[in-house]
Chain A
Amino acid sequence: MSEPTSTAGTPVPETPTAGTSIPSASTRGKPTRGAFRPLRAALCFGARPLRAALWLAVLAVAVAVPFYLEGFWLQAGLFAMSAAIGAIGINLLTGATGQLSLGHAFFLAVGAYSYVSLSSDLGLPTPLAAVAAVIVAGVSGGLFSPIAGRLKGAYLGIATLALIFVGQHILFNAEPVTGGFNGRPVPPMELFGLVFADTPELVVLNVPFGSLERLWFLGIALLAGAAVFARGVLRGRPGLAMNTIRDHEIAAGVMGVPVARYRAGVFVLSSMYGGLAGVLVALVFQQVVPDYFGMLLSLDYLATIVIGGLGSVAGAVVGAAFVSLLPQLLTRYSDALPLVAEPGSGGVSPAEAARILYGAAVVAVVLFLPGGLVGLATRLGRVRLKELRWAKSAPAPASRR
C-alpha cells in the first residue's frame, strides 16, 4: 500500500498493526490459518514483491465475494464495513487522542439524513450529496467544538450524550427534513452511470448483480480509502501529536503541540468518519429511520474499538467485524450451536447469547488481551508486544506487572 517510512532493514514499529489490518478482516472464512504466520511475517517485514502479491490476493478475495455469497452475507459485510468506517473515526478520537465520545451515533445520523435531504430536496447529484453529507457531519462536529474545547475528559464524554438525545428529538420533530418517525427513503447512489440499486438489472458473469452486490464494491472502496487516510494521519506528525495529547496533555502543550486546535481537529475528523459511515449505512438500509441512531449505537462503537484494539486502524476494522457479525452468525446458526436455545423456548436465545459474548469480549480483552484482537493476532505473529504502538504509549499495565 503506502511506502514504508524507513529503510527496509529496520521495521517501523507501527507497521505490524497497520499492515495486518485488511487481511485478517477480509480473509475470514478462508483457510489461511496454517499459513497465518508466514503470511503475517511477509506482510509485516517481508519482501516487497511477496507483500504486493498478498495484497493482490486479498483484493481478489474481496472481488470474489459478491460472486459467491448470498445477499445475507453481503449485507452483513456491508454493515461491518460501515461500522468499520465509523469505528476508525471514533478510534482516532478515543483510541489515539484519548477523548471519550458518546455522541458518535449523532454524526452517523447527520451523514445519513444529510445525504437523503441534499439529494432528494436540493436535487444534488448523489455522489456530490454524499461528499456534502460528510462535510455537513464535519461542520456539525465543528459547531460542537466550542463545547469540546472547553470541556475535558469525563465531562466532555458525558456532554456528548446531549448530542444523542437532542439529536433524536430533532430527528423526530423536524419532519420536513427528516420525515419524522417514518424516516425517509434513501435515493440510490449513481456513479458514472451505474445505479446502486436492484433496477436496472445487471448480470455480471452470470451472476445477477443487485444493490447489495453493487454496494459491496462501493463499501470496499470507501473503507479502503478511509483506512488509508486514517493510517496516514496516525503514522504522521498528527498521529504523534494526538498520542502525546492522550498520554500527557500538558507535556504535549509544552512541547509545542497546539493542543486545542488538535483536539478540535480530531473531533471534526472523527465526525466526518461518522458521517461517511452514516451515508453507507443509509445506502444499505434504503430507508433512514430515527430509531437506529440512538444511544446503543454509540455504546457499540466504543465497545468495538476496545475489542478490536485501541488507537489503530486495524483495531477498528477487526472490532467492527466482530461486533457486527457475531449476532448475525449466532442467529443464523442457532440451531447448530450448543447452549443456545431456540428463540422463545426459555433458554438463552441467540440475541442474548450475542450480547453476553459481546459484553464478555470487552471484559476479556481488558483482562487478558491488552491491545485487543489485533494485539492478539500480532502476538500470535510473534511480534513482540513492546513494538506495538498501543502498548508503547500505555505504560501503566506494563509497570504494574
Chain B
Amino acid sequence: MGKIGTRAGVAALALLSLAVTSCGSGKATGGGGGGDAGAANVDGVKTGPGVTATTITVSALTDLTGPYASFGKSQTQAQQLYFDQVNAGGGVCGRKYELVVRDHGYDTQKAVAAYTEIAPKSAAIVQFIGSPMITALKQRIDGDKLLTIPMAWATTLLGSRAIQVTGTTYDVDMINAVEFLTKEKGIKSGDKIGHLYFEGDYGESSLNGSKYAADKLGLQIVEQKIKATDQDMSAQVAAFKAAGVKAVLVSVGPRQTASLVGVSLAKGMDVPFVGSNSAYAPQLLATPAGPALLKDFYYVSAGTPVSAQNPGMQKLVADYQAKYPGETLDSGVPTGWSAAMIVDEAMKKACEAKDLTREGVLNAHRSQSNFGGDFGTPMNFTFFDKPASRSSYVLKPDKAALGGAVVFREAEVSELAKDYPVPVG
C-alpha cells in the first residue's frame, strides 16, 4: 500500500509540475494579447485575428431556433449568398471569406458563450441578433474592437465605435411615424394616440421616440406595455378604446400586431396603425388577421422592401430565389445582404490601406460618410453616437407583392427627426 501510495504521489507531483510549467501549451505566446496581431504578411498587408494569408473569417451570431428564427434564417442565407458571390469573383484582398454561423436561440448565456468562441478567430461579426445579447456583450465587443453589425435598432446600442447600428434606430422610426400620422392621417394637436410596446429595449427605445414627437406636436401618448409571451390584445384594445385614441403605434412582435389590429377592427375601433420595422411579418397575411392588416396598417423602416423596383434589389431577389427556391422572402434578406456589404466594403477599404487588423478595419469602416444605395436609406458611419440614418420609408402590407409589403411613402427625414437629440447608451 505504502509503495503504491508513494508512487502515485510522485506521479501526481510530476503532473502538477507539468501543469504549472505549461510546456507545450498552445496558449503560451509570451503575452502581448492577440498572438499574430500586427504581424505583416507576405503581401505587405498587416493582419489581425481572423485574417490569414488566404481567408478572412467573418461570423454570424444568429437566432435559428428561437423567436426570431425566420428573420435569422433569411439573413444568414442572404449573407451566405453574398460571400459566395464575392468569393466566386475572386474574394477581397487576395483572400476568400469564410462565414462561421453560430445559433444562440435567443439565449443570453449561449450568445455569450458563442461570442467567446468566435471572437478570437473573427475579423468582423456580420450579424448579431438580439439586443439583450448584444447589450450583455457591448463592453467586450468594444474592448475587442471587433466590427459588429447588430440586428437590433435600440438607441442603447449606439455609442460604441465597434458596433454599427444600421439605418435608423427605433425611436427615429417612431418620430417619423408620428409625423406621418399628423401629415397624412389627420392627427392634430390635442389628440391622443396609443402606443403598444414590448418590455425591453426595443419597445422602450420606440416609446422614447413617440413621446418626443408627441411632446413637440402637442399630442398625448397612451402607453400599454406587454411582454413577448402575451398573445391576446383584447384588454389593451379596450384600454385604448376607452381613452379615445385616434391612432395606434405598434412596437411589438408580429403576432401581437395581428391580434391588436384584428381585435380593434372587430370592436369597431377603426383607426390607423403604424408599426416599427419588427412589428410586421409577411406570414401574418395568411392568418385570419390578414384582411385587417391590409386595411389601415403601415410600418416604418429604413430598409428598402424586397418588392422595390431597383436593379440591385431585383438582382438580389432573383439570385436568392435561385439559390433558395421556395423560401420566404422577408425583410431579413436585404437587411442581411446589406450588413454583409457594409463589412465587405470596410474590408476593401482596409485592404487599400494595407491594414486588415481590427483597428484598420474599424478605421476604414468609420471613414465612410455616404453608404447606401438599393437596400436602404443612405448611412453615415463617421460618428457612432448618432443613428447612421434618420430617414425611413412608410411601408404597407400587400398580398400580391414580394415580401408582403410595398413602399407607401418614399423615405424621408421628418423635421422632428432631423433635430432629435438621440439618447445614447
Asked if A60 contacts B64 (CB within 8 A), the reply is no
Identify which of residues 198-243 in chain A touch chain B, using a CB-to-CB cut-off of 8 Å: 198, 201, 203, 205-208, 212
Identify which of residues 57-101 in chain A touch chain B, using a CB-to-CB cut-off of 8 Å: 57, 59-61, 63-64, 67-72, 75-76, 79
Residues of A within 8 A of B105 (CB): 351
- Is the CB of B286 closer than 8 A to any CB of chain A? no
- Is the CB of B235 closer than 8 A to any CB of chain A? no
**Whole-angstrom CA separation of A129 from B66 in the bound complex:** 35
Identify which of residues 343-382 in chain A touch chain B, using a CB-to-CB cut-off of 8 Å: 343-344, 349-352
Asked if B113 contacts A350 (CB within 8 A), the reply is no
- Is the CB of B5 closer than 8 A to any CB of chain A? yes
Known contacts being A50-B5, A351-B64, is A291 close to B108, with CB within 8 Å?
yes
Residues of A within 8 A of B33 (CB): 201, 208
Residues of A within 8 A of B64 (CB): 343-344, 349, 351
Count A-B pairs with CB separation below 8 Å. Answer: 175
Asked if B11 contacts A71 (CB within 8 A), the reply is no
**How big is chain B's contact interface, by range?**
35 or more
B119 to A, closest residue via Cβ: A71
Asked if B102 contacts A331 (CB within 8 A), the reply is yes
Residues of B within 8 A of A36 (CB): none
Asked if A343 contacts B101 (CB within 8 A), the reply is yes
Identify which of residues 15-38 in chain B touch chain A, using a CB-to-CB cut-off of 8 Å: 15-16, 18-22, 25-33
- Residue among B2, B101, B112 making CB contact with A344, cutoff 8 Å: B101
Identify which of residues 137-179 in chain B touch chain A, using a CB-to-CB cut-off of 8 Å: 137-140, 143, 156
Asked if A205 contacts B8 (CB within 8 A), the reply is no
**Whole-angstrom CA separation of A328 from B114 in the bound complex:** 8
Asked if A60 contacts B112 (CB within 8 A), the reply is no
- Is the CB of B309 closer than 8 A to any CB of chain A? no
- Is the CB of B366 closer than 8 A to any CB of chain A? no
- Is the CB of B136 closer than 8 A to any CB of chain A? yes
- Residue among A56, A69, A203, A285 making CB contact with B136, cutoff 8 Å: A285
Which of A115-123, A133-141, A178-186, A386-394 participates in binding chain B? Answer: A178-186
Asked if A63 contacts B9 (CB within 8 A), the reply is no
**Whole-angstrom CA separation of A203 from B22 in the bound complex:** 12
A290 CB, nearest partner CB in chain B, Å: 8
Known contacts being A287-B137, A351-B64, is A292 close to B109, with CB within 8 Å?
yes
Asked if B29 contacts A208 (CB within 8 A), the reply is yes
Residues of A within 8 Å of B, CB-based: how many? 55
- Is the CB of A337 closer than 8 A to any CB of chain B? no
Residues of A within 8 A of B116 (CB): 71-72, 75, 212
B31 to A, closest residue via Cβ: A203
Residues of B within 8 A of A142 (CB): none
Residues of B within 8 A of A56 (CB): 9, 12-13, 16
A: residues with CB less than 8 A from B are 47-50, 52-54, 56-57, 59-61, 63-64, 67-72, 75-76, 79, 172, 180-183, 185, 198, 201, 203, 205-208, 212, 284-287, 289, 291-292, 327-328, 331-332, 342-344, 349-352
Q: Please give 12 more A-B residue pairs, beta carbons under 8 A apart, in addition to A56-B12, A181-B199, A291-B132.
A: A48-B5, A49-B4, A57-B12, A57-B16, A61-B19, A63-B16, A75-B116, A182-B135, A182-B201, A203-B30, A289-B132, A292-B108
B: residues with CB less than 8 A from A are 1-2, 4-6, 8-9, 11-13, 15-16, 18-22, 25-33, 62, 64-65, 72-73, 76-77, 101-105, 108-110, 112-114, 116-117, 120, 132, 135-140, 143, 156, 199-201, 204
